[in-house]
């Protein structure tokens, strides 16, 4: 019988908190699917996950530490919610480094098959992250909507 999802997640999170990217094959299926938020998207396969999320995130937040506030599992599923505590020291999602300490909130749901994780759904509070570093995405959206409304109006009677 394979490892329970919760046990796999606990070991995988510990490895990631120790900045272990190579060697994740111990926890993940090679053809795993990582379903991330807009801006990152869905990554197919362990290598795509490592290159598209793990390495860029660790580059941007080299001192990162994930702190799960709640973690639980049932059968082949496990889930957690918590924060990544880190300093924004590298570019991430096209945003230049700010040097600011941040607390990035997240929620993960994992599915395992046998003794490997095969799927991961991830929510990252990108709006809160941006606000912490001085970007107000909601104001940017409101300004863009004002521009769109202005472009659509006509002075013709």
The candidate with the shortest Cα–Cα distance to 3, out of 22, 32, 29, is 29
Dump pLDDT digits (tens) for 111-138.
Answer: 999 999 999 999 999 999 999 999 999 9
Neighbour-count burial for 8-25, b at 16+ CB within 10 Å, e otherwise = bbbebbeebeeeeeeebe
Dump pLDDT digits (tens) for 52-111.
Answer: 999 999 999 999 999 999 999 999 999 999 999 999 999 999 999 999 999 999 999 999
Q: What is the assigned CATH class of domain 5-152?
A: alpha beta
**Where exactly are the structural domains of the chain?**
5-152
- The predicted pLDDT at position 142 comes to 93
Dump pLDDT digits (tens) for 14-46.
Answer: 998 899 999 899 999 999 999 999 889 999 999
- The predicted pLDDT at position 152 comes to 59
Question: 51 phi and psi, to 5 degrees?
Answer: -80, -30
pLDDT band, very low/low/confident/very high, at 4 (cuts 50, 70, 90): confident
Separation of alpha carbons 85 and 64, rounded Å: 6
| pTM to 2 decimal places | 0.85
For residue 153, is pLDDT > 80? Answer: no
């Amino acid at each position: 019988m394979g490892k329970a999802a919760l046990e796999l997640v606990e070991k995988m999170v510990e490895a990631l908190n120790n900045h272990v990217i190579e060697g994740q094959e111990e926890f993940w299926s090679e053809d795993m699917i990582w379903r991330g938020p807009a801006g990152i998207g869905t990554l197919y396969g362990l290598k795509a996950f490592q290159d598209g999320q793990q390495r860029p995130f660790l580059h941007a937040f080299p001192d990162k530490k994930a702190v799960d506030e709640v973690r639980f599992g049932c059968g082949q599923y496990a889930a957690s919610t918590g924060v990544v505590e880190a300093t924004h020291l590298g570019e991430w999602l096209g945003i230049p480094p700010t040097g600011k300490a941040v607390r990035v909130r997240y929620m993960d749901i994992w599915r395992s098959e046998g003794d490997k994780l095969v799927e991961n759904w991830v929510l990252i509070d990108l709006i809160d992250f941006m606000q912490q570093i001085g970007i107000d995405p909601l104001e940017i959206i409101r300004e863009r909507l004002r521009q769109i409304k202005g472009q659509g109006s006509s002075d013709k009677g």
